[in-house]
Amino acid sequence: MKRASELPRRARSVIGQVFVVGSTMTVAIIIMIPIIWMLNAAVRPIKEILVYPPMLIPQQITFEYFGSIIRNEQYQRFFLNSIILSLSTLAASIGLGLPAAYGFSRFRIRGGRIMLLSIMALLMLPPVTLIIPYFRLAKAFRFYDTVSGLIIVNIAFALPLVIWLLKAYVDSIPVELEEAALIDGCNRLQALQKILMPLAIPAIIGVGTFAFIAAWNEYLMAAVLTDTPRSQVITIGLSLFFGQRFRDWNAIMALATLSSLPLMIIFIFFQRWVVQGMTSGAVK
Amino acid sequence: MSQMTTRPQIDRRVGKAVNVGEVRRLRILRSLSGYLFLAPALLYLLGVSIYPLISTIQMSFMEVEQGGWQVVGLQNYANLLRDLWFWNSLKIISVVAVASTVLHISIGMALALLLNEHWFSIILRNFMRGILIFTWMFSTAAAALMWSLLFHPFGLFNYLAKTLFDLSAPVEFLGNTSLALWSVIVVGAWKYYPYYMLMILGGLQTIPLELYEAAKVDGANYWHRFRHVTLPLLRPVLIVISTIDMIATFSHVDLFKMLTRGGPLRTTEVVAYYIYKSALLDGNLGYGAAISTFVLMCLVVFMVVYMRILSRGGETGETSF
């Protein structure tokens, strides 16, 4: 038998390719099983779900569970609340974060390094250590069981990352462009608005996507700070199924699919930015 | 470094127009406007993150008694040290932290190495990378539901277990005292590994190809190249992400809250869930605050040790930060 190194170069590279592509695909399929199973269960009648042997291909496909969820007023409320929460978090965290990033990047700030490191430390702060004061403050300031309460808390969670990522990006934009604008009589705010913001659009989209996904998926604070469907979001809607004795699996999976749909769409369109945001965020 | 206040271009221009005293005044104004840019965000964080954080520490010395907050001194901490369930929860989270770090980094490393190979089609490679990041995007709630269908006594995993190992009774993945913790760890690994994969992939892409070429010329096989080129150069990235992972794991509570609620027999009661349970389910807010403070202290110690390791690496030139 020939050893691998004695095979002709071409053959070796083909074998290498088959190995690389084949094993990546195998792992990818294994990793996708829960998602495939979710989609699979969402479109078939209940009597076909927990059967022996499990059926990979549904015998009859039905979208009635999606329909019944979309028509359900309580779920409509959950979705609406999630959309309000995520968009507000996105807008506010960029509205607060971009000026701060600009300030850190372009001015000599006394203690700026310490401030940035503290912000970094906030990034690592376990949210669970804040549930008690948040619970108390929310009750005291009547934010308990409101979407606004959730928005306030989610902005605080998103802001440190937004500041860090945008600061790194602003650092990479040459200052000469703004200097020209300042010489032409712009003030700082105008320079930020007219010169920097258009240049920073990719980073803004990236961190915006990030803030949106984080707020959409946030669960713990929603569980602690809300109590009635009026203010509850979709992650709570999903978690309500835990603890039920009988589970209507196809409706559950249809809801899980629908709740992830916005993120899937975002991901398909903004994958590049999501990847950039994920990798440039923590280590810098 | 590149602050505009010290940029000669502008200063020269300003200097032409006004005298020195006025330049100084302008500079102060400029740096003041810098603080104005920072102020909204910093004040927000001060009010919504730092103040609650301080009040957590403050409340750890108090307890709700007869409807009001009473100062109890170190009573909560004294209880904490005697509370075996607290130590149990710390022990469980340590197991989870080590296990998930190992899982994240090994899965992430394997996939990153595959993605970093030469692919015949870049489009296919990027598509596969997309697929492999996909799980990161799902909410913990959606992930917990997907997996509880798989873990169901009549679900897919039990079917596989039955056919492969010929078991008579269904396996209770989330109800068995020795399995439940590992089931949740697997769900966590599934949900969070993409971040670590991307970080490692980013690290791999910074390693110059010449090093591999040189190693090849010297007759190093794949394993040698991995052991003596890839691993040492990835060391900084690996240290950083494993620390981030450990810290992140301490705050994990969603999956435990949804999938097992700390059970069965409190075998999955991690410290974050114990905080939630003591404070909000049992109503011992002060005690919950004391556990929170203790956890924060552990994390600070952990981070200091980690910074030490990093800076020591820096002195000997092993890490490049």
Q: How far is A53 from chain B (nearest CA, A)?
A: 7
* pLDDT higher at B7 or B196: B196
CB pairs under 8 A between A and B: 298
pTM: 0.86
Integer Cα distance of B81 and A256 in angstroms: 41
Residues in B closer than 8 angstroms to A35, CB to CB, are 134-135, 138, 146
Residue of A nearest to B203 (CA): A279
Chain-chain contact of A99 with B2 (C-beta, under 8 angstroms): no
Interacting residues of B39 by C-beta distance below 8 A, sequence separation 6+: none
- For residue A260, give the nearest of B131, B138, B194 by CB distance: B138
Overall average pLDDT of the B93-119 stretch: 93
Integer Cα distance of B26 and B30 in angstroms: 6
Residue B315 and residue B296 in contact, taking contact as beta carbons nearer than 8 Å: no
Residues in A closer than 8 angstroms to B202, CB to CB, are 279
Interacting residues of B182 by C-beta distance below 8 A, sequence separation 6+: B99
Integer Cα distance of A6 and B259 in angstroms: 53
Number of Cβ atoms within 10 Å of the Cβ of A197: 13
Overall average pLDDT of the B242-271 stretch: 88
Chain-chain contact of B40 with A100 (C-beta, under 8 angstroms): yes
Integer Cα distance of B122 and A26 in angstroms: 18
Residue of B nearest to A167 (CA): B38
Which of B54, B114, B193, B252 has the highest number of chain A CBs within 10 A, making it the mutation to test binding with A? B114
Chain-chain contact of A122 with B110 (C-beta, under 8 angstroms): no
Integer Cα distance of A138 and A225 in angstroms: 7
pLDDT recorded at residue A281? 53
Residue B71 and residue B61 in contact, taking contact as beta carbons nearer than 8 Å: yes
Interacting residues of B110 by C-beta distance below 8 A, sequence separation 6+: A27
What is the pLDDT confidence band of residue B9, given thresholds at 50, 70 and 90?
Answer: very low
Overall average pLDDT of the A107-115 stretch: 85
Which CATH entry fits the domain spanning B75-315: 3.90.1200.10, 3.40.50.261, 1.10.10.60, 1.10.3720.10?
1.10.3720.10
pLDDT recorded at residue A78? 94
According to the per-residue pLDDT averaged within each range, which of A114-128, A153-167, A258-272 is highest? A153-167
Residue of B nearest to A92 (CA): B41
- For residue A128, give the nearest of B119, B140, B272 by CB distance: B272
Overall average pLDDT of the A29-55 stretch: 85
pLDDT recorded at residue B132? 92
Residue B268 and residue B260 in contact, taking contact as beta carbons nearer than 8 Å: yes
Residues in A closer than 8 angstroms to B280, CB to CB, are 131-132, 135, 224
Q: How far is A132 from chain B (nearest CA, A)?
A: 7
According to the per-residue pLDDT averaged within each range, which of A68-72, A129-133, A171-175, B204-208 is highest? A129-133
pLDDT tens per residue, range B216-227: 888 888 888 999
Which of A18, A24, A96, A123 has the highest number of chain B CBs within 10 A, making it the mutation to test binding with B? A24
Residue of B nearest to A93 (CA): B41
Evaluate if residue B154 carries a pLDDT over 60: yes
Residue B243 and residue B98 in contact, taking contact as beta carbons nearer than 8 Å: no
Integer Cα distance of B239 and A204 in angstroms: 29
Give the least confident one: A181-195, A249-263, B246-260. Answer: A181-195
Interacting residues of A21 by C-beta distance below 8 A, sequence separation 6+: B119, B120, B124
Question: B144: buried, middle or exposed (CB in 10 Å: 19+, 13-18, 0-12)?
Answer: buried
Integer Cα distance of A46 and A139 in angstroms: 42
pLDDT tens per residue, range B32-71: 788 889 999 999 999 999 999 999 999 999 988 877 888 8
How far is residue B170 from each of residues A276, B31, B163, B220, B258, measured CA to CA in Å? 43, 68, 11, 49, 21
Q: Where do the structural domains in chain B lie, given as residue ranges?
A: 4-59, 75-315
Three-state DSSP class for residue B320: coil
Integer Cα distance of B34 and B169 in angstroms: 67
Class of A72-281 in CATH: mainly alpha
pLDDT recorded at residue B41? 94
Q: Where do the structural domains in chain A lie, given as residue ranges?
A: 4-42, 72-281
Q: How far is B292 from chain A (nearest CA, A)?
A: 5
pLDDT recorded at residue B250? 87
Residues of chain A above pLDDT 70, percent: 93
Evaluate if residue B5 carries a pLDDT over 50: no
Interacting residues of B3 by C-beta distance below 8 A, sequence separation 6+: A106, A107, A108
Q: B69 φ, ψ to 5°?
A: -85, 125
